[in-house]
């Protein structure tokens, strides 16, 4: 009897979870500290979403700050009309 895991996503997820837990591999690295753990801002996204239905939405926006990148606007004023990213 062949199992078709693609058609049984719940069984596939349960099997994958059991294998990870049985391997004894930690899910989170010990001693890992992300660079923004002390409250620094890595990026700032200005955006909006237009929800058309529970299954569909239109999302758009731009980055107003990106750590380490000096020029993310092509001029003044710094808004969606001059945003590069």
Selected residue with higher pLDDT from 25 and 54: 54
Question: Is 46 in a helix, a strand, or coil?
Answer: strand
Nearest to 45 by CA among 85, 13, 73: 85
Look over the chain and give the mean of its residue pLDDT values, rounded to a whole number: 75
Distance CA 60, CA 58 (A): 7
> What pLDDT score does 3 carry?
47
Model confidence at 36, in pLDDT bands (50, 70, 90)?
A: low
> What pLDDT score does 79 carry?
85
């Amino acid at each position: 009897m062949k199992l078709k895991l693609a058609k049984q996503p719940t069984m596939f997820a349960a099997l994958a979870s059991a294998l990870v837990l049985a391997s004894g591999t930690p899910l989170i690295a010990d001693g890992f500290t992300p660079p923004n753990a002390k409250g620094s801002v890595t990026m700032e996204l200005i955006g909006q979403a237009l929800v058309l239905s529970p299954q569909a939405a239109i999302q758009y926006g731009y980055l107003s700050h990106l750590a380490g990148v000096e020029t993310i606007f092509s001029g003044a004023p710094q808004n969606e009309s001059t945003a590069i990213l």
